[in-house]
Structure 1
Amino acid sequence: MTELHIDLLAEPLWPLLNKFYRRHESPMKALKGGQLWVARHSEIVAGLCLSTVVGGQWLTGVFVDPAFRGHGLAARLIREAVAPVEGTVWLLCHPDLERFYAGIGFSQQTVLPQSLAERLVRYKRNKPMIAMGLCRQV
């Protein structure tokens, strides 16, 4: 795979991540107030969002352009984005993704902050979901 650059997206460029999601018909959305991380290969080819919650960060919006999948890009992007995080990084995902996230160090053995626990209950009404966490100490 050719050279990719992973970095924090500057606030004035935030609309580019939502444009990337829409171009790929992804339901993902960049959350205002979060940290938006992207991988670029002349243009955005992957992205994610980290939002502050009590005790850590909430990881959402992980999406990789289908043409760039299968090369470990999502794992690399997540690792770089969470490297400076202190506390726990939580995510809510479909159970089929448990193995992928476990490979990065996430575990279902986590205690969610109340805001995410409530969100998980709501999400589980419509689809199967699990919560995972990664404890980060810098």
Structure 2
Amino acid sequence: MPELHIEPLAEPLWPLLNKFYRSHNSSMKALKGGRLWVARDSAIVAGLCLSPVVGGQWLTGVFVDPAYRGQGLAARLIQQAVAEVEGTVWLLCHPDLEGVYQRMGFSQDTVLPQSLSERLVRYKRNKPMIAMGFSIT
């Protein structure tokens, strides 16, 4: 795997992550108030967003360019992004992704903050979703 640069994305550059998502026909969007992280080759090849919630962070927008998948890039990106956060990191995902996130230390055995519990209920009306968490100590 080529040496990629993993770093927070400065706020003025946030539109670049949304452009990356759109270029891959993803409905994901960078959330205002969050902290965006990207992996770059000559351009963005992966991204994510961490948004503060009561008790920790909400991880959203994890997306890796299909040409870079299967190389552990999502795990490296998440690991670096959460290295300095405190509390729990939660995510909501399709059940098919459970194994991917379990290998990174996430589990369904987690208590969601109310704001994420409410989102999960809304999301599950339209598609299968699970909640997973990882506690940072």
TM-score, length of structure 2 as denominator length: 0.99
List aligned pairs for 1:74-93, cutoff 5 A: 74-93=74-93
Partners of 1:53 and 1:15 lie apart in 2 by: 23
Within-5 A mapping of 1:1-138: 1-137=1-137
How far apart in 2 are the matches of 1:86 and 1:78?
Answer: 14
For residue 123 of structure 1, give the secondary structure of its aligned residue in structure 2.
helix
Give the superposition deviation at 1:2. Answer: 1.2
Distance 1:105 1:82 in 2: 12
Q: Sequence identity, in percent?
A: 81
SS at match of 1:104: coil
Q: Map Cα deviations across residues 60-116 of structure 1 (whole Å, 9 max, x no partner).
A: 000000111111101110111111110000000001111110100001000000000
State the secondary structure of the residue aligned to 1:50: strand
User: What's the secondary structure of 2:131's corresponding residue?
Assistant: strand
Aligned-partner residue type, residue 114 of structure 1: Q
Unaligned runs of 5+ in 2: none
Name the aligned partner's letter for residue 106 of structure 1.
Answer: F
For residue 118 of structure 1, what is the amino acid of its counterpart?
E
- The runs of at least 4 consecutive aligned structure 1 residues that moved more than 4 Å come to none
In the superposition, the TM-score normalised over structure 1's length comes to 0.98
Say how many residue pairs are matched.
137
5+ unaligned residues in a row in structure 1: which ranges? Answer: none
Superposed CA RMSD in Å reads 0.5
* 3-state secondary structure, aligned to 2:103: helix
SS at match of 1:81: helix
| C-alpha separation in 1, matches of 2:80 and 2:106 | 14
